[in-house]
Chains A and B, each alone.
Chain A
Amino acid sequence: MATLIIADCENNQLAPTTGSVISAAQEIGGDIDLFVSGHDTNDIVSNAQSIAGVRKVWVAEGEEYAHPLAESLTPLVVNLAPQYTHILASASTFGKNLLPRIAAVLDMAVVSDVCKIIAPHVYERYCYAGNILATVKNHSAIQVLTIRTTAFSHAEKKAPSSASTESISSDSINEQSRFMGIETHQSDRPDLTIANTVIAGGRGLGSKENFSIIETLAHKLNAAIGASRAAVDAGYAPNDWQVGQTGKVVAPKLYIAIGISGAIQHTAGMKDSQVIVAINKDADAPIFQAADYGLVADLFKVLPQFIELLAAR
Chain B
Amino acid sequence: MKIMTAIKRVPDYNLRVRPLPDQLQVDLRNVKMSINPFCEIAVEEAVRIKERGIASEVIAVSIGEDACKEQIRVALAIGADRGIFVKTNAEIQPLASAKILYALYRQEQPDLVILGKQSIDGDNNQTGQMLAGLAGLPQGTFASAVTFAEGAVTVTREVDVGLETIKLTLPAVITADLRLNTPRYLTLPNIMRARKKEMTTIALDSLNVDVTPKIELLGVASPTQRQPCTFVNDAVELVDKLTNEARVL
A100's contact among B94, B140, B144, B226, by CB below 8 Å, is which?
B94
A/B interface sample: 25 pairs, CB < 8 A: A11-B161, A67-B164, A99-B129, A100-B125, A104-B130, A108-B214, A109-B95, A110-B130, A128-B123, A129-B13, A132-B26, A135-B218, A135-B220, A138-B214, A183-B165, A238-B162, A239-B162, A248-B160, A293-B229, A293-B246, A294-B230, A295-B232, A302-B234, A306-B239, A310-B239
Residue of B nearest to A290 (CB): B226
| A101-B139, A132-B26, A239-B179 as given contacts; A94 in contact with B133, CB under 8 Å | no
List residues of chain A with CB within 8 A of the CB of B166: 69, 177-180
Q: Are B123 and A292 touching (Cβ within 8 A)? A: no
Task: State the Cβ distance, B88 to closest chain A Cβ, in Å.
Answer: 18
Nearest B residue to A140, CB-CB: B214
Q: Measured between alpha carbons, how far is A108 from B231 in the docked complex, in Å?
A: 49
Q: Kindly supply a per-residue 1/0 record for chain B positions 136-147, scoring 1 wherever the CB is within 8 Å of any chain A CB and 0 otherwise.
A: 011111101000
A103-121 at interface with B (beta carbon < 8 Å) = 103-105, 107-113
In the assembled complex, the CB of A56 is this many whole angstroms from the nearest CB of chain B, namely 25
Chain A nearest CB from B161 CB (Å) reads 5
Q: In the complex, A98 Cα to B216 Cα: how many Å?
A: 23
Q: How far apart are A148's CB and chain B's nearest CB, in angstroms? A: 11
Residues of A within 8 A of B238 (CB): 277, 293, 295, 302, 306
Asked if A309 CB lies within 8 Å of chain B CBs, one says yes
B-side residues, CB < 8 A to A, are 11, 13, 16-19, 26, 93-95, 98, 117-118, 120-134, 137-142, 144, 154, 157-169, 172, 177-179, 214-223, 226-227, 229-236, 238-239, 241-243, 246, 248-249
Q: Are B16 and A131 in contact (CB under 8 A)?
A: yes
The residues of A that contact B132 with a CB separation of less than 8 Å are 70, 101, 104
Task: Name the contact of A128 in the complex, choosing from B26, B129, B157, B215 (C-beta under 8 A).
Answer: B26
Q: Which residues of A contact B179 (CB under 8 A)?
A: 232-233, 239
CB A146 to nearest CB in B, in angstroms, measures: 8
- The answer to whether B161 and A128 touch across the interface, beta carbons within 8 angstroms, is no
Could you say which residues of chain B place their CB within 8 Å of the CB of A112? Answer: 123-126
Q: How far is the CA of A217 from the CA of B120 in the complex (A)?
A: 33
Inter-subunit contact B124/A70 (CB<8 Å): no
Which secondary structure characterizes the binding site on chain A?
A: mixed
Contact yes or no, A104 B218, CB < 8 A: no
Contacts of A135 in B (CB 8 A): 217-221
**Chain B interface mostly:** mixed
B234 touches A240 (CB 8 A): no
Do B142 and A93 have beta carbons less than 8 Å apart? yes
Seed contacts A67-B164, A295-B232; 18 additional CB < 8 Å A-B pairs = A97-B139, A100-B125, A100-B128, A103-B133, A110-B94, A110-B126, A130-B223, A131-B223, A133-B221, A136-B216, A177-B169, A178-B166, A182-B159, A245-B120, A275-B242, A293-B246, A294-B229, A296-B231
**Shortest distance in angstroms between A257's beta carbon and chain B's nearest beta carbon?**
12
Q: How large is the interface on A (under 10, 10 to 19, 20 to 34, 35 or more residues)?
A: 35 or more
> A127–B129 contact, CB under 8 A?
no
Which residue of chain A has the shortest Cβ distance to B10 in the bound complex? A128
Q: How far is the CB of B117 from chain A (nearest CB, A)?
A: 8
A278 located at the interface, meaning its Cβ lies under 8 Å from any Cβ of chain B in the complex: yes
Q: Mark A43-70, 1 if CB is under 8 A from B, else 0.
A: 0000000000000000000000001011
A292 near B246: Cβ-Cβ < 8 Å:
yes
Interface string of A164-205 (1 = CB under 8 A from B): 000000000001111111111100000001000100000000
Q: Is A229 an interface residue (CB 8 A)?
A: yes
Q: Is B242 within 8 A of A93, CB to CB?
A: no
- A139 near B139 with CB under 8 A, answer no
A289 to B223, CA, bound (A): 13
A253 proximal to B (CB < 8 A):
yes
Does A239 lie within 8 Å of B144, measured CB to CB? Answer: yes
B172 vs chain A, min Cβ distance (A): 8
CB contact between A175 and one of B17, B157, B169, B226 (< 8 Å): that residue: B169
| Bound Cα distance A278, B84 (Å) | 46
In the bound assembly, the distance between CA atoms of A105 and B99 in angstroms comes to: 11
Please give me the 7 A-B residue pairs with the lowest Cβ-Cβ distance, nearest first.
A104-B133, A176-B138, A104-B130, A100-B129, A109-B214, A184-B162, A101-B133
A233: min CB distance to chain B, Å: 7
B48 to chain A, nearest CB (A): 18
Are A133 and B129 CB-contacts (below 8 A) given A238-B162, A239-B179? no
